[in-house]
């Protein structure tokens, strides 16, 4: 091999830039104890990474970069005291002769590797990692490219395709299994991505998101939906602890489970009245930057590893201009990076604009909100039925758009009203009719008069208060009464003398 064909080894100067670049980024975040160290040497003076245990590492001579290249090859970055890991867990990062950053755990528990790599990768500033490469490798490659961007060999700019395009030949995929689409809720909320859930004020989008989060944490179905089982995390910027407590109590009661069953399965961060912006503008008011709260959220996610993250709402968490396309895309991009890096689904709640409510689209501010997410849901209230809600899929890059789920608010929770599950409107009508007839029969046997006329003896009200009403509301029972009267199954009769006539409701 001629000298011109020999691989070009990284220079000592470039190696120094990468090593201190890694150290500085990790040090700035403060999630581990970072030092530049010297690894042991083999007999020929080359690095002996196999013996690079913590007790074998040395400080740099006089805290200066080594003058000779052989010693410089042994310089590495040690990471100890990593958040969420055992105290003795230690990582080492070094630069090989090709300029590639290598890494490895040199002490501690193997179980800590996932958390340690997630934190190190995030703090270095990695792009979301591909599955075939580890987080630290991705982060290090990103840092290397930032420090040493490719330069053209002459005055001509290199072709863009040579730098950025990575084509594939579809024929190479022919014999490979087709990867299944990943969902948190099939057809509704994609995994590893951001879903926008918007709803007018007071429609109950926070309750709906919390109900889904509880179901996912417990591994049960709710509203005819089956979330992916796994831990869930909710950042509730609009609700305090007492309100969260009340809602959780109602949800757990509806599903016949105790709140204690959520231990180590669900975390809720009540933050009403607090500054919890995840991104805010810099001094120039032009650039959107992640905040300390965002970093704290990353720490919590790295430790807890949820399958679902609920962020409530964008008005409290987004500190930019909602009509600025670039800022909106930047914010959604931050959340998507979080979703991919930690293999989780992110649901961001938002309020629609007045125009969004009037048009029925549920959009707000810039169209970038809709364009940047892969799934968008809109929760609306029925103008004629105060307890009815409709959840509609307004956008789905991976599924069918326009599907609707009819929900009904009852006793602090949402229940299915019509649509996907067996608890359809027809079934609800039959159940309401059955309850009405059974309780009416008991009233008749006990000599308790009830009437179809509003007043103290109004039948729907009295039946709804009965222990055997099975949670049926007065409104549902009133509709059932009308259907039963129309079908002739019940009727009103008048009894007593002309001076003391009374009307009551009986079964025909």
Output the CA torsion sign for 400, 211, 128, 295: positive
**Structural domain contains residue 175:** no
Q: What is the pLDDT of residue 17?
A: 87
**Alpha carbon distances (Å) from 119 to 93, 146, 353, 474, 491:** 14, 19, 37, 54, 70
Q: What is the pLDDT of residue 127?
A: 45
Looking at the fold, whether 401 and 438 belong to one and the same domain comes out as no
Q: Give the list of residues 6+ apart from residue 99 with CB closer than 8 angstroms, or none.
A: 10, 14, 15, 18, 144, 148
Chosen domain end from 379, 398, 418: 418
Segment 183-231, tens digit of pLDDT:
999 989 999 999 999 988 889 999 999 999 999 999 999 998 999 999 9
Strand 388-396 versus strand 183-185 pairing type:
unpaired
pLDDT over 70 (residue 147): no
Choice between 496 and 466, residue whose per-residue pLDDT is larger: 466
Q: What is the pLDDT of residue 366?
A: 64
Segment 68-92, tens digit of pLDDT:
888 999 999 999 888 878 888 899 9
Q: What is the mean pLDDT of residues 16-42?
A: 86
Segment 368-391, tens digit of pLDDT:
787 888 889 999 988 767 888 999
The tally of domains found in the chain comes to: 3
pLDDT over 60 (residue 115): yes
Q: Crossing angle for the helix pair 474-486 and 425-446, nearest 10 degrees?
A: 80
Chosen domain end from 92, 119, 147: 147
Segment 452-491, tens digit of pLDDT:
998 899 999 999 999 998 888 888 899 899 999 999 999 9
User: Are 300 and 287 contacting, i.e. CB atoms less than 8 angstroms apart?
Assistant: no
**Alpha carbon distances (Å) from 407 to 53, 231, 392, 413:** 59, 25, 11, 10
**Structural domain contains residue 399:** yes
Looking at the fold, whether 405 and 473 belong to one and the same domain comes out as no
**Structural domain contains residue 169:** no
Looking at the fold, whether 454 and 359 belong to one and the same domain comes out as no
pLDDT over 90 (residue 2): no
pLDDT over 70 (residue 142): no
Q: In what order do the strands lie in the sheet with 75-80?
A: 58-59, 33-38, 75-80, 90-95, 101-107
Percentage of residues in the chain with pLDDT exceeding 90?
Answer: 43
Q: Is the peptide bond before 313 cis (omega within 30 degrees of 0)?
A: yes
Looking at the fold, whether 434 and 454 belong to one and the same domain comes out as yes
Output the CA torsion 236→282→301→334 (10° steps): 100
Segment 263-310, tens digit of pLDDT:
999 999 999 999 999 999 888 877 889 999 999 999 999 999 999 999
User: Are 299 and 306 contacting, i.e. CB atoms less than 8 angstroms apart?
Assistant: no
Looking at the fold, whether 461 and 375 belong to one and the same domain comes out as no
Looking at the fold, whether 409 and 435 belong to one and the same domain comes out as no
**Structural domain contains residue 160:** no
**Structural domain contains residue 172:** no
What's the CATH number where 228 sits? Answer: 3.40.50.300
Q: What is the mean pLDDT of residues 120-126?
A: 78
- H or E element: which one contains 391? strand 388-396
Chosen domain end from 363, 385, 418: 418
pLDDT over 80 (residue 416): yes
Q: What is the pLDDT of residue 4?
A: 38
Choice between 383 and 345, residue whose per-residue pLDDT is larger: 345
Looking at the fold, whether 392 and 476 belong to one and the same domain comes out as no
Looking at the fold, whether 228 and 305 belong to one and the same domain comes out as yes
Choice between 246 and 366, residue whose per-residue pLDDT is larger: 246
**Alpha carbon distances (Å) from 320 to 237, 300, 323, 329:** 16, 23, 9, 11
Looking at the fold, whether 59 and 197 belong to one and the same domain comes out as no
Q: Give the list of residues 6+ apart from residue 444 with CB closer than 8 angstroms, or none.
A: 506, 507
* Tokens coding 199: 């709803």
Looking at the fold, whether 435 and 411 belong to one and the same domain comes out as no
16 lies in which domain range? 3-147
Q: What is the pLDDT of residue 364?
A: 60
What's the CATH number where 478 sits? Answer: 1.10.10
Mean pLDDT of the chain: 84
pLDDT over 50 (residue 423): no
Q: What is the pLDDT of residue 6?
A: 42
**Structural domain contains residue 163:** no
Q: How far apart are CA 189 and CA 309, in angstroms?
A: 12
Segment 298-331, tens digit of pLDDT:
999 999 999 999 999 899 999 998 888 888 889 9
Output the CA torsion 498→504→507→508 (10° steps): 30
Q: What is the pLDDT of residue 149?
A: 59
Number of other residues whose CB lies within 10 A of the CB of residue 255 = 16
Looking at the fold, whether 375 and 390 belong to one and the same domain comes out as yes
Looking at the fold, whether 225 and 369 belong to one and the same domain comes out as yes
Q: What is the mean pLDDT of residues 49-71?
A: 86
**Structural domain contains residue 406:** yes
Indicate the SS3 state at residue 209: helix
How far is C-alpha 386 from the geometric centre of its chain's CA atoms? 29
**Structural domain contains residue 255:** yes
Write down the residue that tokens 């809109």 correspond to.
378
Give me the DSSP letters along 130-154: PTTS-HHHHHHHHHHHHHS----SS
């Amino acid at each position: 091999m001629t000298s011109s064909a020999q691989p070009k080894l990284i220079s000592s100067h470039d190696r120094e830039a990468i090593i201190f670049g890694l150290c500085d980024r990790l040090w700035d975040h403060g999630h581990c104890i970072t030092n530049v160290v010297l690894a042991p040497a083999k007999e020929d003076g080359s690095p002996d990474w196999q013996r690079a245990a913590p007790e074998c590492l040395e400080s740099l001579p006089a805290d200066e970069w080594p003058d000779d290249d052989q010693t410089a090859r042994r310089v590495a970055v040690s990471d100890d005291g990593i958040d969420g890991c055992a105290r003795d867990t230690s990582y080492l990062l070094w630069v090989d002769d090709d300029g590639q950053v290598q890494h490895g755990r040199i002490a501690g528990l193997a179980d800590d590797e996932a958390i340690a790599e997630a934190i190190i990768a995030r703090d270095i500033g990695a792009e979301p990692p591909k599955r075939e490469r580890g987080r630290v490798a991705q982060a290090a490659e990103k840092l290397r490219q930032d420090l040493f961007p490719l330069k053209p060999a002459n005055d001509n700019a290199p072709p863009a395709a040579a730098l950025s395009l990575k084509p594939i030949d579809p024929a190479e995929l022919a014999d490979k299994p087709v990867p299944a689409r990943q969902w948190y809720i099939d057809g509704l909320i994609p995994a590893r991505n951001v879903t926008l859930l918007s709803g007018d004020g007071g429609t109950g989008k926070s309750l709906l998101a919390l109900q889904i989060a509880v179901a996912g944490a417990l591994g049960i179905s709710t509203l005819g939906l089956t979330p992916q089982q796994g831990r869930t995390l909710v950042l509730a910027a609009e609700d305090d602890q007492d309100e969260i407590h009340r809602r959780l109590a109602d949800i757990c009661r509806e599903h016949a489970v105790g709140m204690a069953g959520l231990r180590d399965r669900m975390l809720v961060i009540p933050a009403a009245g607090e500054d919890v912006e995840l991104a805010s503008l810099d001094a120039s008011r032009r650039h959107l930057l992640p905040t300390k709260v965002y970093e704290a959220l990353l720490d919590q996610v790295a430790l807890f590893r949820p399958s679902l993250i609920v962020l409530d709402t964008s008005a409290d968490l987004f500190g930019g201009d909602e009509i600025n396309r670039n800022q909106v895309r930047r914010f959604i991009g931050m959340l998507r990076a979080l979703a991919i890096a930690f293999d989780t689904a992110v649901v961001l709640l938002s309020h629609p604009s007045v125009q969004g409510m009037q048009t029925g689209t549920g959009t707000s501010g810039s169209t970038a909100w809709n364009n940047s997410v892969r799934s968008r849901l809109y929760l609306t209230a029925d103008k004629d039925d105060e307890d009815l809600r409709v959840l509609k899929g307004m956008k789905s890059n991976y599924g069918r758009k326009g599907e609707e789920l009819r929900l009904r608010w009852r006793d602090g929770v949402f229940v299915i009203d019509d649509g996907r599950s067996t608890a359809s409107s027809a079934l609800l009508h039959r159940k309401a009719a059955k309850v009405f007839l059974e309780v009416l029969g008991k009233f008749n046997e006990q000599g308790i008069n009830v009437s179809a006329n509003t007043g103290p003896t109004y039948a729907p009200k009295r039946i709804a208060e009965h222990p055997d009403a099975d949670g049926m509301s007065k409104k549902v029972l009133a509709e059932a009464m009308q259907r039963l009267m129309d079908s002739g199954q019940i009727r009103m009769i008048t009894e007593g003398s002309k001076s003391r006539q009374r009307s009551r409701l009986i079964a025909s």
